Structures are given as structure tokens and as C-alpha cells.
Chain A
Amino acid sequence: MVAINIDRFVKRYGALEVVHDISFDIEEGEFLVLVGPSGCGKSTILRMVAGLEEISGGELRMQGVRVNELSPKERQVAMVFQDYALYPHMSVEQNIGFSLELARVPKAEREAQVKRVADILQIGHLLERRPRELSGGQRQRVAIGRAMVRKPQLFLFDEPLSNLDAKLRAEMRGQIKRLHQTLKTTSMYVTHDQLEAMTLADRIICLFDGHIAQMGTPHDLFDRPANVFVAEFIGSPTMNIVPITASKAEGRTVLTLAGGGEVSLPDGTALPSLTNDGNVLAGIRPEHLSDTPTPGATARIEGVIDMLEPLGSDILVTMQVGGATLTARCTDKGQFQAGQNLTLHFDPARLHLFDSKTQMRLG
């Protein structure tokens, strides 16, 4: 069942249009993540849904009812802000209970509600403290508690983990995921971190310059990126994208790199119909390149190691090949040295091809 319906959203600041005709639905209980680089319009869309920004064009429907003109309170949304936005002069208990106090909920009931939320988030022992006496992670939990206590129809998260250090971010990410699995409240989450998007989302909308670049499950975006932007944005390290020319030689498909290097694909490799006389962009993820032959039909590519970045068990190997730079994620057994020749293998099925002009996926 559709809980939220965003229909042809447009946002203008004077003559400047920053969100262009965007439409999507959020299913009941779904965790939807809006991801994209700074300035792509993701936070603006979230704030339009929250009621903090006026909707310049289009319609917002909740449970089928138009809510464009309603206040945030009337829309029954709760929001977790990037900087937590906790009231510094109030205790944790007052912060969480503020919305209930404004709604004139009797004191006893209010206290019970605050306690319920505090117990779920394990912050019961912090209720008397002020925000300045809390750590970053504790503040974040209070901010989530403040949103939870209202039992909203829709949870909105505006980059809630971006102020935390890497370890705490991973911990809080897990907590938000568990919380959603327990509460199953419809949620809309904004982040610029593709890892957060991949780990949390039921569905991701990847935005670019106020447009939807791709919408789908995390697997859809990772395995079948719709365009070069999504291919490069989703996944870390980023996908290798190189301009190539595909041609047939002696019945085999040969990919010629711009700088002259060649990759010969095994017999029977099926490529989508190519555009621009075979001048396309080819993409392969670093984790799909291997220094050892993989079983089955593999393609090979040869080059010289340029740089090594050890990650612990794995190592990122950057290789110069035919004027292009490729990065491979390999198992680190101390076998690599800068300047050394290297042959990388990959499964041709893992190859992504994009139109060099429109940058859209082929096939």
C-alpha cells in the first residue's frame, strides 16, 4: 500500500529551479533512501515532505490525501536533523517529551511515553542530563527518541549520521536498521554516503542535479547502474570507467582502449547492441577484477602497477593500461610491487557498457 505519494515535485528559489519534476511513491513500512552528492536536491525534497519548505509545484499525498498546505505537525511527520537540533536548555526528558507537552498530553502519560522510548533506545539513565553533557552517539539517540515518541506516520532523517566518527556511524547505522525492523514505520532517509544508502535502504533513489538518476533496490543500483553517474556514485572504491572501441576480429570481440591497449573477450561473449560505431564507455568494479584466473570464461587485461593501497586483508592495486587507469581490489598476500607487470582477469558478464554521448546503460 502506498503511504506517501510524491507527484511531480518542483522547487524554485526565485528563478532558480533546484528540483525538477520528481515523482515517486513510498510504500507503507518501507525504508527509502535518497542519496546523491551535495546540491543534488535530496535535502530539499525531504524538507518539502516535512513541511519546512514550500512546495513550488506538484503534489504531496499522504495515505491518498493532499497535504501540501498542512503544517509539519498536521502531516504527522517526525524528523531527525543532521545537527540533532536538541534544545540545549532542556533535559533529555524534556527534549523527548516536548512534542507531547505541546499536544497537552497529561504529565503521567507523557512520562510513561518518554520512558518507553528511552528504554528502547537505552538512554533511560540519561533523562536528567542536558544535551551538552552527552556524547555524539547519545545525542543522536535522543534525537531519534524525540522523533519516535510522537508515533509519526513518516520518519524523516536528514543526514543523521554525518556528524559522527566512522566507528559510531557504523554502530548507529545498525541501530537505525534494527529500530526500523522493530517499528516498521515508513521512513525517508537522506544521505550523501552510498554505504549508508546500500546498508539501510529497502529502495534507493539516486539523485543528480535535481533529477532522479536511478530508482531501485540496492542490488539494482549496484549490479545494473542505469548510467555512468550511478555507476560511479554507488560502490566503493568507485567503478572503473574507460572509453573503449569494440570491434570483431577473427570472430572474437576485441575491446580497444583509447590509449591502444586491447582486451580480448572469450568466444561467445554477448554484448548489447553498441552505439556510436562501437565507441562506448566500459565499466568494471574493482572487486570484479582479479589477479588470478577465475573459473569459466574470463577476459584478460595487462598493464603496469602504478600504486598500491593496502586495506588489511585486501589491497587496492592501481594499474596503468593503454592510457587508462584501472583499480582492482585483490587479496593481499604481499605479491604486488609498484612498477611490476600485472595481468588482471574478469568475467565479461560483469562488464557494464554505457553510451559515450548520453552516458546511459546499453543493454
Chain B
Amino acid sequence: MQADNSVSTTAGLRQGANRWLRVYGTFAGFVAMIVIFSLLRPGVFLSPNNLRNITEQVAILAIVATTMTVVMVVGDFDLSVGALASLSGVVVADMLIRGVGLWPGVVIALLIGAVAGLFNGLLVAYFGLSAFVATLATMTAFRGFSLFYTNGSTLFSGIPESFKIFGQSFTGPVPNSVLIMLAVLVVTWFVLEQTTLGRRLYAIGGNAQASYLAGLNVRALRLTAFIISGLGAALAGIVLTSRLFSAHPTAGEPLMLNSIAAVFLGMTMFREGEPHVLGTFVGVLLLGVMSNGLNILQVNSYLQLVLTGVIILLAVLLSGLARRE
């Protein structure tokens, strides 16, 4: 009520700093990382070649992390995305080798993703399992499917050249994988931020019981989120298989933890700690830039994992501390 600036100047400063750290801390860390890498390896890190490298490297993770964001918006998460990406990759490669044609093969792989998501969603939203248990179980089952399907081997011979369109071709100067990533980003951002569906998903994530009593069909909406996540994982599997031009039954596994980490990193950028697509994208870039930079610096790849863990902890801890004020 009464304005008195003299007393609270220092407190105000601290509060301002905290707010800044909370909103921009993760982003500032990201920028700092770019500055450090480009100072340490001038001419290499910021070269057009390497920048393109980074975008191509993060494209697949960005697809999975973006649709993972949708599941995390409703307060669930999906551990099965990595195994599902592998499965979709294996299926699309096998379909192509059998000669079903490019687009039918892709559609079948996407359908598998949607059905797998539907199954996860049914388990969580309608049968009341926790997302952790349900998707841990389906992750194991999906992995088993891929291994059984391929008998544990890598599929590569007989994949038609036309399949390179998703992961290796360019439209103008831009890699197609990056275009696909941008499309997923834009569409998901639009759905979450600008449509009634997105609004309802955020409401459920904020308070599922209140959303139900406010007349939302909570079960159907949670189910929808899992279907979107399944589709994203399947799409990522297709792009990954195209990029590698071979399908390994566990190729998609690292996507799961990295995508969840990216969403968490993104969540640190918002006051209410909710997942947002743009935050997730910064999280993906942060992970991608770090891995690329550490590779250029020839840091031991095992140590890179340790550093990644430390960075995630730091970001989440700092934003938590800043929020406490």
C-alpha cells in the first residue's frame, strides 16, 4: 500500500536478480555455453558446417521432446518413447525392404506410434495405472517387439534410396529433418498455446480434479496427450532410421531420458514451472550444443554423461532456489 523505497532497495535488487535468474537463467547458461565453446575453438564451433551439424543432431531429439512436452503438460510422462522410436524405425525399414512403398511404410509406422500411444493412454487414463508403471512396462514390451522382430540384428540391406528424403536430403540449404522438426514444433506450439485443446491440457496438469469438476473430459484429454507422444516418437524413429539408413532395434533408446531432461530444462524457464514447447526447444538446444561442443573439445564421452547430469541438476536447483523467494 504505502510506497517506501528506501527500506526495500536491497531486497528489491535481490528479488529482481532472482526473477531474472528464474526466467533467463537456463537461457543465459545456454548463451554462456555458446560463448565458451566459440572462444575455446574459434572458427570451428561457430562454423556454418558445425551449426548445421548441431541442428541435424538435435532435430530427432527435438521431435520427441516436443511431443513429450504435451504429455508432461497434463502432468504425466512417457517412458516408452525411446523404445517406440526404435520399433517404428524397425517397422518402417522392414516394410520398405519388403517393398510396400515409401508412403505406405511411413503411414504404417506412424499408425503403430498412434496405437502404442493409445494403449499407454488407456492404461493411464482409463485403467488408472501411474504413468511411470504403465510406460515402464510398455517400454519393455516395445523393446522386446523390436528385438523379436529383427532377431536382434540391424536392418539395412534393401532399403530404397528414396527413404533418404526424411533424414539425409535437403530442401534448398535446409536439411529435411530440420524442416520436419520445425513443423512439429510449430504445430505443437500452436495446439498447446492457441487452441482450446491446449488450454484444457494445461488445466488438467494444473489440477486434474478441479478440471473434471469444471466439466472437462479428463480421461479423453490425457489419452489424447499420449497419442500425440506416440506419434512424435514414431516420427522420430522414421527420421532416425532414414538418417542412419539402417534400423537397429535399440537405436532410439537414448531419446527417452534426453527428451524428459529437455522438458525439465525448459520448465525451469517459467515461473509456474509448467512445460512449454519453446522452453523444451531451448532445453534440446542446450543438450545438443553441450554434446557437440564437448565432442569438439574431445572430452571423454563417458565424462560427457557426467557433465550432462550436473548441468541438468544445476539448472533445476538454481531455478528452484530463485523461485523460493
Are both chains from one complex? no
Residues of A within 8 A of B (CB): none
